[in-house]
Amino acid sequence: MCERDDCMSLMSRRTGQTIVCAWLSETNPPTLRDLTGSYTLPCPLPSQSTTTINAERNDLYLFHLQFDGTSNRVKCSRMTPIPGVLYPVYRKILDEFRDSRNQAARRTRK
C-alpha cells in the first residue's frame, strides 16, 4: 500500500512507497516544499519524462517516492503536475488518511 506524507514526515521515512504533494522549489538538487517545511531529495527527478523535462520551480506536483530501507536510498519514480488550487484538497486527504491510520492503530491496541 502506498503511504501519504508531507515534507516533515518524509524526513523520518525509511521504507515503503509514498505520495507527497509539494512545490518543486529547486531543480538541482531537487527540493520539495510544502506548509510543513522542505525536503531535498537524495536522488534525481525521474528521467526521460516529459514532466521532468518541463519541470519548473514553484510548480505543484504529486511525487511518488520509493524507499528501500537505507537512509539515502530513495527513488522518485513519478511526478505529476497538479493545479495549485488542489493543495488544500490534498491536505484534507492527508489529514483523513492519518486519522484513519490512528484510529486503526487504537483499535488494534485494545
Q: Residue 90 corresponds to which cell in the numbers above?
A: 490534498
Domain range list for the chain: 3-109
pLDDT tens, residue by residue, 18-71: 999 999 999 889 999 999 999 999 888 887 666 666 788 899 999 999 998 876
* Alpha-carbon distances of 91 from 79, 84, 106, rounded to whole Å: 17, 12, 23
Say which CATH topology domain 3-109 has: OB fold (Dihydrolipoamide Acetyltransferase, E2P) (2.40.50)
pTM of the model: 0.84
